[in-house]
Structure 1
């Protein structure tokens, strides 16, 4: 971008705000406080005003907009999906994100948010930005600075968030966010967001069906595990809060279905694949923490990332496990998965 209120480094070269080294002689640059207090380079400023007056004014207006967004105190990295309680290794190479990383490291809390990029194809009723308002806060654990300015950054997911407002600062996204936590009661306010019922039937071969509403208002219907599917799966499920025939799987039963899938996955893959899963997504959380376990299970499933991202807004661990079990059943119904062909 065009220089604005340019300053000069102690080595008498022009400064570049994307590296701790001078772009010409590679001398170490001082901290941000030096450039905030240092006078502007009058010669450069006069050249900018004479040769690029309109562009300089436009640059100033853009900076004013960024200052108006100063209440947005959360830097946001648009990159990939991440969940709380999991490690994520990131490669910073774009100048805007290298600058963002430097500012995060200079701040009192070395954290930033990460969201997925917009969809390539629009989602019906939601466009291409469906789900991109939810993300995960990442804590910076270690940084390996490379000689050319790139960085390898190890992070750890701490909690989820939703973007309330967003703006930009020096090319990267910043926002005002709210934290998302699970309800203590894993049904909580979600009790009205899902319904479950036994399909009326005179035959015991009819499979019970669960339907729940995801935060994106998409109804997902799945057959309960360990029950052979029949033609009754086409029956509609009606809402009835007082229906005495409502049935639900316990959290323990849902986790048992997940463990069965993991055993199937381990039995059908090479040992190095299992090791890679543990290294990439961290150790498997204990059954005593169903919230963390639901995210871990969602991450290891070989399904599309935007589908996995539907777990982020859900504030009930049990409902997330239901979604995971539904994906497992869908995988088991696909010939390529049941035949042992899995790409990780």
Structure 2
């Protein structure tokens, strides 16, 4: 006696056979069309199926000629980059809405070689032009600095990011593929009514150290700050911010010493030196370590590393471990003098001490 389960298995097997037969017929038809579409010596060039074949070889996402085509398990083909973009937003096929495998599946699978051969054989000029256009657009896009509007970062300090928004997933992919895998990090404007409507003027360039891609397309990105910048002009590229920036570096040690001596001469009294400011900060840290908040300091040390000796990096490290508002900390970014940054930090230390004790 045939059971209902046996019937279901037979139906599934029948559907699978039909799907394979349909795919085989489509491949045979495509090969036949290619052979008939090749140029001949006839006056019309021998392209009677050119328009029809071009329609078959268009991407249903960008409506242009397929480029590095990839075919989904549901037998729909798209440009490789178009498919990656759609997977940033949804895990379903853009055409039939069938669930697709994880993002990692398409990373491990090469382009559809049959389609690629068809494109290069039947339409060599069009495919070369399409490739040149994509390369030109990508090159133009890399002329601008990608900007991640998220959190506060400082030079020399590590920053670990969890990237999940589609626009930033695209941005990180482009950064990795570029010759210089880095991007700018700025805070959103404090006065911004909604995310993305405004950004702070100063930020820090982050260099990508490593990227861990997760199966669903999200990623964990490990970065370290390299230098500060001023955002001179900003725009938008595929949903994320890009800009023209101006690098900001500290003054030289000789200029710093001259500034310090000039301040002392003007005031006609001794002012704290850079080392004295650093000593005040170390005293505050020791006070926290001795019992005020040892658990907090241990957690922050594990995150940002041990206390640096260089005055420039020391000021950023102190800012990161201090429990104050990020927008207040961002006031350090435009200051080019390590001594003046330490002076501001000492002001924060004194304010905290007066409020705590």
TM-score > 0.5, shorter chain as reference:
yes
Asked whether 1:16 is paired with 2:61, we answer no
Aligned to 2:10: none
Paired residue for 2:153? 82
Cα distance, 1:333 vs structure 2: 1.0
Is contact 1:81–1:115 with CA below 8 Å preserved after alignment?
A: yes
What secondary structure is seen at the aligned counterpart in 2 of 1:10?
strand
The corresponding residue for 2:181 is 110
Pairwise mapping of residues 184-195 of structure 1 onto structure 2 (< 5 A)?
184-185=252-253, 191=259
Q: Cα RMSD (Å) of the superposition?
A: 3.7
Q: Secondary structure at the match of 1:333?
A: helix
In structure 2, the partner of 1:167 is 235
Asked if the contact 1:16–1:22 (Cα under 8 Å) also holds between the matched residues in 2, the reply is no
1:276 Cα deviation after fit: 0.9
C-alpha contact 1:13 1:22 (8 A) present in aligned 2: no
The Cα of 1:247 is off from its aligned counterpart by: 3.2
- Cα 1:120–1:10, aligned 2, differ >3 Å: closer, same or farther? same
Within 1, Cα distance between the matches of 2:181 and 2:202? 20
Offset at residue 316 of structure 1 (A): 0.4
Match of 1:300 in 2: 321
Residues 242-288 of structure 1, C-alpha deviations (whole Å, 9 max, x = no match): 646243211111011001100111123454432211122222102xx
Matched, 1:146 2:167: no
Are residues 1:322 and 2:337 paired? no
The runs of 5 or more residues in structure 1 that have no matched partner are 40-65, 123-127, 198-241, 339-344
1:137 aligns with: 205
Considering only CA atoms, is the larger Rg found in Structure 1 or Structure 2? 2
Q: Which has the higher contact order (CA 8 A, sep 6+)?
A: 1
Does the 8 A contact of 2:232 with 2:244 survive in 1? Answer: yes
Structure 2 contact 144–242 (Cα < 8 Å) conserved? yes
**Does structure 1 conserve the Cα–Cα contact (< 8 Å) formed by 2:204 and 2:227?**
yes
* Count of residues paired in the alignment: 256
Tell whether the 8 Å contact from 1:93 to 1:150 is kept in structure 2 after alignment.
yes
- Structure 2 unaligned segments of length 5 or more: list them: 1-59, 94-99, 120-136
Say whether 1:256 aligns with 2:270: no
The structure that is helix-richer by fraction is 2
Alpha-carbon distance in 2 for matches of 1:303, 1:328: 10
CA distance in 2, matches of 1:328, 1:186: 28
